[in-house]
Amino acid sequence: MNDQVSVEVLPVRVDAAGVWRYRRLTARLGGESPDQAARRSAGVPAGDAFTVVHSTSWRYRPQGQIILTYVVCPDPWPLLPATELESLRLATGAAPETPAPEHIHLDNVVAHALRHLAYLLENDRVVAAALAGHPEVTRALDPLSRELAEQLAGVH
C-alpha cells in the first residue's frame, strides 16, 4: 500500500434546475491502478459505457502526499447524500511560475473537474458517447463548454 498517493473520487450529478451536487470518496492504492481504485470506490464496474470516470487533477500536500482526483459522472448512486456545489470558481496560483494555489477548497476542485468534463464533452468522442444518454448533464455542461470556447478564442 502506498501512503504517499491517494485517490480522491468526486461523483457528480445535476438536478433539473441545473444545480450540481457531489460526494467525496477516497481510496488508497493497494495492488491496483488509480483508475481501478477510482472505479472501485465509486462502484462503477469495468466496462460501464454510460459513466465517465476521468482523472481530472492532482495536488500535493506539504506532508509529501500526492492526491489524484477523479470525477465520476453521473454519480452511480444518486440517492446518497451529496454536497451542493456553491460556486464554479477555480482556485489559481499567485503567479505563472507558482501554479499551485495557496488555498484550495473542495468546491474549487469540483469546479475544475466540471470544466474538464465540459471540455471533454466537446473534444473526446468516448466521453461524448457516454454522456449522450444523460441530457441533464450535457445541458448543464453546455454553458461551461461555451465559456471555455470563448476563453480559448481570446488567447493569441
Output the average pLDDT for the chain: 88
**pLDDT interval class at 148 (50, 70, 90):** low
Tally of structural domains, the chain: 1
In this predicted structure, what is the pLDDT of residue 87? 83
- pTM to 2 decimals? 0.88
Identity of the residue numbered 88: L
| CATH number assigned to the domain comprising residue 62 | 3.90.79
CB-based burial, 104-143: b 16+ in 10 Å, e otherwise: eeebbbbbbbbbbbbbbbbeeeebeebbeebeebbebbee
Lowest mean pLDDT among 32-41, 51-60, 102-111: 102-111
Domain range for residue 114?
A: 2-153
Where are the alpha helices (H) located in 5-134, listed in sequence order? 34-42, 106-123, 125-131
**pLDDT interval class at 150 (50, 70, 90):** low
